[in-house]
Amino acid sequence: MSDRDGAFAEYFAARSGAMRGTAYLLCGDWHRAEDLVQAAFTKLYVNWNRVGRHDALDPYVRKVLIRTFIDDGRRGWWRRERLQEPPVEAPAAEHSADDRVDLVRALAAVPPRQRAVLVLRYWEDMSVDDVAAALHCSPGTVKSQAARGLDALRSLISHPVTAE
């Protein structure tokens, strides 16, 4: 195993779980979450020498993951190719399971960019400026998208969406 492989594998083992959690909240599906993580880390591997030198691995992977998620949504490949799969998996524990399903399902119904802002701001706890840099938009847009996303979420939770 080369030096790159070793360092990459170590980083993957340390961070892929957290990235997969973020991806799951973005897309509401563990299979697709793993696809997104795989795509992001593959790109990292290809650009390892360039990115690794700048101590910017997490922001880089997160940015690729988010962009892949948004671009896939724009192309609609997921909707076409995985039409038969349920959009959300049921949580393990039984108590309060409905609430959790509702939250993930409601989140999945929020427009992708707003959803990305909500997940980065409130799950990843990233600052407005960092979210803006990750999404390549203005901090003001992050704030407005967060406000709209929360509005949408409130509405969806008070009027639950029906799974297709």
Partner 1 sequence: MNGNDLREALRATMTATRTPPPMESAAAVASGRRAVRRRTWTGAGATAALVAAVLVAGPLIAGDRSGDPVQAGAPPQPTPPASTPGVTTTPSGAETKPSWPLDGDGQPQEDATARSGERYEKGRQLLDELLNVVPEGYTKPEGTARDGIPLREHQAAVEAHDSWGYLASTAVSDGKGTGRLLAEVHTPGNGLSTEPCKLAAEFWGLGGDCHVVRVGGARVGVASASGSDQRIDQWAAYRHPDGIVVYVAQSRTATNDDPGLAPLKKLPLNATDLAALTVDPRFHLN
Our CB check for partner 1 shows the closer of 46 and 81 to be 46
Our CB check for partner 1 shows the closer of 54 and 80 to be 54
What letters, b where the CB count within 10 A reaches 16 and e where it falls short, cover 151-162? ebbeebeeeeee
To partner 1, the closest distance from the beta carbon of 104 in angstroms equals: 6
To partner 1, the closest distance from the beta carbon of 144 in angstroms equals: 5
Alpha carbon distance 54, 118 (integer Å) = 27
Alpha carbon distance 34, 30 (integer Å) = 6
Place of tokens 């706890």: 125
Tokens of 111: 């427009």
Query: Alpha helices, DSSP H only, in 28-138?
Result: 30-46, 48-52, 57-75, 77-81, 97-109, 112-122, 128-135
To partner 1, the closest distance from the beta carbon of 72 in angstroms equals: 14
Our CB check for partner 1 shows the closer of 81 and 99 to be 99
Alpha carbon distance 97, 120 (integer Å) = 23
To partner 1, the closest distance from the beta carbon of 7 in angstroms equals: 6
Our CB check for partner 1 shows the closer of 44 and 65 to be 44
To partner 1, the closest distance from the beta carbon of 85 in angstroms equals: 14
Our CB check for partner 1 shows the closer of 61 and 78 to be 61
Alpha carbon distance 143, 149 (integer Å) = 10
